[in-house]
Amino acid sequence: MSKNKPKESGQSKFLVFFMVILIPAVFALILAVVLAFYFGFGDQLQRLASVLPFIEEPQEEMEDASESGEESEEGISDEEYILQLENENETYLQEITRIESELNSKDEEIVSLQEELVTIQSEDLGIEGEEPENDTTDINDIVKTLEEMTSSKAADIIGEIPQDEAITYLRIMQVNSRSEILSKMDAEAAAGLLSEMSN
């Protein structure tokens, strides 16, 4: 029993050291490295770590491999690559210039079409503005003519024209003329006109 106690005591000291000191220290070191890379101190850490001999060599090997990989993948040197990029840049600039000139010509075309549209609309408004006056004058003349006729002749005419026109004329007429004309019309036709006029 006494032999087990020293053995357990040595194991418990090792476990305490391992659990209390070593694991938190490793965790803190990993956390510090991650935070350094996150906050932009990664390059400084790499330079600091390059002092260690076992870290320096693999990094150089990786850089050499990446440089040789770039040349082998592309198959061109840096100067040729720069010339290629300059040519692409000139091509894009020419395309941009062409598109801008097309855009300007389209803008000019839009402006001219808008001017034509305004001209056409103003002409249409002028024509439309004249027509309602003529229509109103014509309708008033027709109503006046119907009122001056005898009521029986006006009733015959109202009975022959389309119902919409007849309603329009009857609405404009004076009440006395309208009643005389409707009294001379067929009862069913007069009732139909009155019901349409009330709607």
Answer whether residue 4 shows pLDDT above 80: no
**Length of the chain as a residue count:** 199
Checking if the pLDDT of 66 tops 70, the result is no
- How far CA 76 is from CA of 79, 83, 124, in Å, comes to 8, 11, 68
pLDDT digits (tens, 9 = 90+) for 99-153: 999 999 998 998 888 888 888 887 876 655 555 555 666 888 888 888 888 888 8
**CB-based contacts of 168, cutoff 8 Å, min separation 6:** 139
Residue for token pair 């109202």: 158
pLDDT tens string 9-54: 767 888 888 888 888 999 998 998 888 888 877 777 777 777 766 6
Give the residue, 198 or 126, on which the prediction is more confident: 198
Query: What is the rounded average pLDDT of the residues 65-85?
Result: 69
Whole-number CA gyration radius for the chain = 51
Rounded Cα–Cα distance for residues 97 and 5 (Å): 89
Q: Helices (DSSP H) in 149-186: which residue ranges? A: 151-160, 163-172, 175-184
Instruction: Copy the structure tokens of residue 5.
Output: 């106690």
**What are the two backbone dihedrals, phi and then psi, of residue 73, each rounded to the nearest 5 degrees?**
-70, -45
How is residue 84 written in tokens?
A: 């290629």
